Amino acid sequence: MTIRDSLMKFLLQEDVNFLLTNRLPRRALTTAMGRLAKVETPIVAQPMMRAWRFFSGADLSEAAEPSYKSLRDAFVRALKPGARTYDPDPNVLASPCDANVGAGGTIDGDKLYQIKGAPYALSDLIPDPAVAARVRDGRYITLRLTAGMYHRFHAPSALRVRRVTYLSGDCWNVNPIALKRVEKLFCKNERAVIEADLPDGVPILLVPVAAILVAGIRLNFLDTEKLLREQGSTPVACDVSVARGEEMGWFEHGSTIIVFTPPGFELADGVGEGSAIRAGQALMRRSV
């Protein structure tokens, strides 16, 4: 067993992992990481990037640039043109991001799951009852972006973005270990509700959820110079068209996106808890 394998085995023990990523001062660590990640001084940036690649297994072979000055630039890297292709079927919702698939399926009225055996309420995640009602009894799928993954997310279909609501909150880790232990975790964390319509007017919701060490969420169709949290909690009305596969925003570290649809969709073949998916691959398909 290599040194890396031994370290990862130790860090992945549930008690150790939960202690290191959740019982330490989460917000302070996240703020500190946001600042350190922007440092371009080689004596600071290069060891941080080596450590990140060592522990995360990040693969930069598809990155648009051969090297980066800071850890933050490596996190939010763009990919080479054509690195991701989007399923062209208009009845398909493509995955908006590279991810590991978490809980998903049918929303039972207001009830869904963050992980098997750990329910939460749609109305707790999305406090506006009128917005939550649009996907009641519909479908959902949880997509977790790990630290080494490509961190940008894209339109799963041609969309018209109608409104964005920022919800302040904590920054619990969103890995399976924390999801098993922290009740209603997604409802406690910082997040945004992106309301959009498909070309025929059918609504969908994208809910990016921040986590520990996520220094920010930025959205291309708003002001990317500002973190989403800096724009405040007042809902922002939009009328922005985005093409299938067009970049919508990015996380400044790994996190989660939950995709919601009304009834009439089903998960695509091969999409299930524990599977891996890449941006552009079929995620959901119209069933009616």
* Cα dihedral 40/98/235/267 (nearest 10): -170
Q: How many CA atoms lie within 13 A of 161 on its CB side?
A: 27
Catalytic residue among 95, 154, 157, 253: 154
State how far the Cα of 29 lies from the Cα of 251, in Å rounded to an integer. Answer: 16
Pair of tokens at residue 93:
């919702």
82 assigned to some structural domain: no
Domain total of the chain: 2
Contact of 97 with 206, CB cutoff 8 Å: no
Digit-coded pLDDT (tens) for 208-234 = 998 877 767 889 888 767 777 777 778
15 assigned to some structural domain: yes
Establish whether 154 is a catalytic residue.
yes
For residues 167 and 235, state if they share a domain. Answer: yes
For residues 139 and 177, state if they share a domain. Answer: yes
Digit-coded pLDDT (tens) for 267-286 = 999 999 999 999 999 999 99
Range of the domain at 135: 92-286
What's the predicted TM-score (pTM) here? 0.89
31 assigned to some structural domain: yes
Q: What angle do CA 186, 148, 225 make, to 5 degrees?
A: 70
Model pLDDT, residue 11: 45
Digit-coded pLDDT (tens) for 141-191 = 999 998 889 999 999 999 999 999 999 888 888 888 888 888 999 999 999
State how far the Cα of 189 lies from the Cα of 185, in Å rounded to an integer. Answer: 6
Establish whether 67 is a catalytic residue.
no
> Which of 49, 75, 101 is the endpoint of a domain?
75
83 assigned to some structural domain: no
Establish whether 239 is a catalytic residue.
no
Catalytic residue among 70, 87, 98, 253: 98
**Between 14-22 and 3-11, two packed helices, what is the crossing angle to 10 degrees?**
80
146 assigned to some structural domain: yes
For residues 103 and 202, state if they share a domain. Answer: yes
For residues 280 and 155, state if they share a domain. Answer: yes
> Which of 21, 41, 75 is the endpoint of a domain?
75
For residues 17 and 104, state if they share a domain. Answer: no
Please state, in angstroms and as integers, the Cα–Cα distance from residue 161 to each residue in 1, 37, 131, 197, 203, following that order: 49, 30, 14, 7, 10
Q: Is 192 strand, coil or helix?
A: strand
Identify the burial level of 39 via C-beta atoms within 10 angstroms of its C-beta, where 0-12 means exposed, 13-18 middle and 19 or more buried.
middle
State how far the Cα of 45 lies from the Cα of 73, in Å rounded to an integer. Answer: 10
For residues 41 and 172, state if they share a domain. Answer: no
